[in-house]
Amino acid sequence: MIRKNRKRAGRLLVASAIGAGALGAYALLVEPRWLEVTRTTIHLRGLPQGLEGLRIALLTDLHAGEGTSLGLIRRACRLTMREKPDLVALTGDFAADDAESFADVLEAIGCLRAPLGVYAVPG
């Protein structure tokens, strides 16, 4: 009986280690390179007719450095521009503490253009 429980505990330990390794690999190799374009339509009563169909692009938590390359950020900006937004908002965390240069981050997002402007909150 004790031998059976030890064997079961050993299997559980191995399965847990494999699961933790897979989760770690996902966190390091997949998620930092994952870019997603999500389109959402919001209906607002009383919206002025001139704002009907307004397209707003939102980029957030770019975290340049910390494993996120400037190349990936440039790719995110290209994807954003393909959406032809009327306004672009960058809502913080452009660069991680280990980013080499904030100027490089600004250069990477420099292709962002929109008729109503590009607005950013860096922190």
pLDDT, one tens digit per residue, over 25-35 is 545 555 556 78
CB 95 within 8 A of CB 64: yes
Pairing relationship of beta strands 56-59 and 118-121 according to DSSP bridges: unpaired
First to last CA, the chain: 58
* Structure-token pair, residue 121: 């909150």
**pTM of structure:** 0.69
Task: Give the residue among 61, 109, 63, 69 at the shortest CA–CA distance from 88.
Answer: 109
Q: What is the pLDDT of residues 70-118, one digit of tens each?
A: 888 899 999 999 999 999 999 877 777 766 677 888 888 899 999 999 9
Task: Give CA–CA dist 76/51, Å, rounded.
Answer: 25
